[in-house]
Structure formats: structure tokens, C-alpha cells
Chains A and B, each alone.
Chain A
Amino acid sequence: MRLEVEISGKTYRSAAGGTHDVLAPLKFALQSGEVGVLIGPSGCGKSTMLRIILGLDHEFQGRIARPPEARIGMVFQEPRLLPWRSVEQNVRLAAPDVSDAKLSELFRILELDAHRSHFPGELSLGLARRVALARAFAVEPDLLVLDEPLASLDDALAGRLRDEIATLVARRPVMTLLVTHSLDDAIRLGDRLFILSPRPARIVQEVPIAVPRAERSEADLGRIRAELAAVQQLESK
């Protein structure tokens, strides 16, 4: 499976009547088993791009090719759980075909066992984000989209959840698109990084990471970080 994104532009009409360019022409593709990372400054149009890719926004110029039968798992910036359904029901409603064994495993990995019957209002933000992750993985997606899934969590928890995402992504071949402004998340999880410009967003640089995710040492990470810093310096000149 393959996701192809070819956007030639997106304008947004504001309430005041003016038009603004949100996205400049941009193009990239993603294969099964690959984690693509979109990195860019806040407000550069990342979320708009995701909405277009997910098929929530049809008013743009260009085309998105994804297999029509591809199942989508999504982790939104806010957890977007149904407050009136329990944790388990929230997952099952999105993934009615999930087996009990699979669900138990997900809840174990994400340490949600004790919270199955709780309502989202009774959870902390960190827990709610984990439920959103469980929901996205339970559908066994072909395309997994993560929109800043670790934002506003403390470093320790974010680190653990990041490892959990890596574990889950490694289990089956899935096209993953991660949006983040954390360079650290990007180089630890990504296979290919797309560096975006400020609004209207375009891809400034595409950085492939050759070392497989599981084998990246701290030295590798340091080297990648240095490369990226060089790219950004070049960009600012």
C-alpha cells in the first residue's frame, strides 16, 4: 500500500472575507511499514494537511491517492473520546472487530487495564491520550495518523509512550504519518522526515534516516540531530 500526497494549494477564507494561503504546493509519498514525520513550526498548516489527507476537507487543489479500502487509525491532538462511553466501549466502537485477546494486549501494553470501565472524564490527559492510542491501534490500521500525540505530557511519560508507539508500529506493516514539533520524537520514531516551512507550508527538506528504528544508538541520534541542525542553518541563510 502506498499513500501519495500531491497538494498544489489550499486557501482559506477568513470570517473577515480575506483569503489566506495555508498550503503551498507540496508532494510526498509513504510506503507500508514506513513512518513519515511532518515537522514544522506551530500554525504552519500541518493540521490542515492532515484533514485533507484524512478526507475531512475536500476543498483544496491537488490529489490524494490512498487505497480506498485502507483502514485509518487516528490519534487527534486532543483525545476526542466519547465522554459518555467507557474506555473499553470507546475502543470497541471504533474497532468492532477487535478480538478480546488483542484488546487485552493493547490495554496491557498501554497500562490501561485498571481503567477499562472508567469514563473519559475520570481520566487524566495522559491516560486519555493512551486510550486514543489504543483506539487507533485496535482498528489494525493500514494508515496510522498521529497528530502531536505526545504534546503537553511530561518528558518521562512522553518517552514511555513513544517507546510504546514504536513497539506497536513494529508489529505490523502500516503507513504511519506523525506530526510533531519535537525533533526528538521525530528522529526516534521516523524513517523519513519532512521539514516544513512556516505558513503557507511547503516541504523544505526531506531527510531519510537509514538506520532502522530499533538499532538507532545515541551516537546515531546525535549525528542525525547535527545533520538536521545543518539543514536548518542552511535554511535560515
Chain B
Amino acid sequence: MLRLLSFALFLAIWWIAALFVGGAKLPSPPAVLNVIVAEASSGALFLHLGATLARVALSFVLAMSLGSAIGYLMGRVKLADRLGDPWLILLLNLPALVVIVLAYIWAGLTEAAAITAIAINKLPTAIVTLREGTRALDRSLDEMATVFAMPRWRAFRHVVLPQLAPYIAASARSGLSLVWKIVLVAELLGRPNGVGFEIGVAFQLFDTPRLLAYSLTFAAIVLVIETVLVQPFEARATRWRPRAA
């Protein structure tokens, strides 16, 4: 209820602002809705959204799985941490734009280049978060697993993984938002479809309704994924915790 009210407030502010600023710079909500309906009925909206979602999914999975594995290794093995740390600092501070442009120059304007570039941008934050999580693992529970001679896999699944779950969830959440942002840049610069490409076109034509139509639909999808996938996962992973008052 409160969420709906908050959303209505957002619409109201937008509408009032549109009245003041004028339709060319900030179109009113119905104008944007018209564009969304038109693009949806022509099928273009779904094509571009689908392309973007596929890129997000691929690069997100790639970065999360690789980043989690490397982060866990660096948290557990001191040598890996020492060797990997300079690379990590370099990657963390490398601007997304540089990675994307270089990937396109080296690998051509290809799908693989785009997905790799997006994944590389997400990779270091996943590593850092998981490394922190691994460092914070409870040694006393490790000892318990050792004393009771738990096989490695069982100990990992029941002792280690539940401790890492909040870190994985945090990394997934921040990672998803990062990937959403970067994927559009990669599409703008070198892909012939996707939301980023459409926004590039809208920019060239100064077509604000179209720009808003695509970005808002996109934001709505992010919101749905967050509520339907990320939050339930978090709730499940932390269900054993006593509820905060």
C-alpha cells in the first residue's frame, strides 16, 4: 500500500514538472505511455528489451560465478590474495568506458566483446565482496566440521555456503544494478540492438518520449526482477536469522 502511494507521488511530481517544463523536454506520463504502447505493438520494444536482458543475464552469470570462485580462493589462500591483489586494484579502478572501448577495438564489434567487457566491469566487485565474506568465515565452525570428519563437499555446502549467502546476495544485488548501467553503454557504443542502442537513436533525434519510454520500461523490469528473484532469495537465505524488531 505504502509502496503504491509512493509510486503515485512520483507520477504526480513528474506530471506537474511536465506541465511546467513543456512536452519537448519532459513529456507527460500519458505521452510516454503512448510511445510504449506503439513500440510494444510493433514488437520493437520486446526485441530490444530481450537483447538487453540476454546480455545482462550472460555477463552477470559469467561475472558472478568467476568472481565468487576467485574471491573465495583469495579469501582462503594467502598466496592467491597476494598475487591477485594488484590485479584487483587495477580492475576496480579501470573506468567501464575504457574496458568497453578496448574490448571493441581488440575483439571487433561483436557480442562476445560486449558481454566480456560488461562481465569484466562487474568481476572485481564480486571478487572483493566474496573475499570479505570468506575472510569473515567462522573458524570455530570449520573446526567443528573437521573434528566430525565431514566430507569436503558437505562441509562446503552446509557450513561455508550459508555463511557466504548474504555476501553473494549483496554482490548479486549491487552487481545487477552495475550490469544494468554498463550494458546500456556497451550497446550504445557498438551493438545494433538493445535498449542502449535505442537510447542512442533517441539521443540523436532528441526524442525524449522515446528515451523515457525505453528507459522506464527497462527500469520496471529491473524492479520486477528485484522483487521476484533477488528479494525472495535473500529472504530464504536468511530465514534462520531471528527477525529484527
Contacts and interface: CB of A to CB of B under 8 A. Distances in A.
B76 interface: no
Contacts of B158: 82, 85, 89, 93
Nearest to B158: A93
B137 to A, nearest CB: 13
B241 A74 contact: no
Interface stretch (B147-155, B181-189, B203-211): B147-155
Interface string A3-33: 0000000000000000000000000000000
B144 A76 contact: yes
B41 interface: no
A56 B149 CA distance: 12
Contacts, number: 49
Interface in A148-178: none
Interface in B130-185: 140-141, 143-144, 146-150, 154, 158-159, 162
A72 B240 contact: no
Given A72-B147, A93-B150, A93-B154, A80 B140 contact: yes
B240 A84 contact: yes
B140 A78 contact: yes
Interface in B4-26: none
B148 A56 contact: no
Nearest to B238: A84
Given A71-B149, A72-B147, A72-B149, A119 B240 contact: yes
A72 B144 contact: no
A94 B154 CA distance: 10
A135 B240 CA distance: 19
Interface string B26-56: 0000000000000000000000000000000
A139 interface: yes
A18 to B, nearest CB: 23
B242 A56 contact: no
A122 interface: yes
Nearest to B144: A80
A93 to B, nearest CB: 5
B173 to A, nearest CB: 20
Contact of A94 (B143, B148, B242): B148
A122 to B, nearest CB: 7
Dominant secondary structure at the B interface? helix
**Is the interface on chain A under 10, 10 to 19, 20 to 34, or 35 or more residues?**
20 to 34
Interface SS of chain A: helix, strand, loop or mixed? loop
B162 A74 contact: no
A121 interface: yes
A54 B147 CA distance: 7
Interface in B75-94: none
Contacts of A73: 148
Interface in A35-74: 54-56, 71-74
Contacts of A55: 146-147
A222 interface: no
B150 A121 contact: no
A74 B240 contact: no
B141 A121 contact: no
Contacts of B148: 72-74, 94-95, 135, 139
A82 B242 CA distance: 14
A83 interface: yes
Contacts of B240: 83-85, 119, 121
B20 to A, nearest CB: 53
Contact of A121 (B140, B159, B242): B242
Given A82-B162, A85-B240, 9 more contacts: A72-B147, A76-B143, A80-B140, A83-B240, A84-B162, A121-B240, A121-B241, A121-B242, A122-B242
Interface of B: 140-141, 143-144, 146-150, 154, 158-159, 162, 240-242
24 contacts: A55-B146, A55-B147, A56-B143, A56-B146, A72-B147, A72-B148, A76-B140, A76-B144, A80-B140, A80-B141, A80-B143, A82-B141, A82-B159, A82-B162, A83-B241, A85-B158, A85-B162, A85-B240, A94-B148, A94-B150, A96-B154, A122-B242, A135-B148, A139-B148
**Top 10 nearest A-B pairs by Cβ distance?**
A84-B162, A94-B148, A84-B240, A119-B240, A80-B144, A74-B147, A121-B242, A54-B147, A56-B143, A93-B158
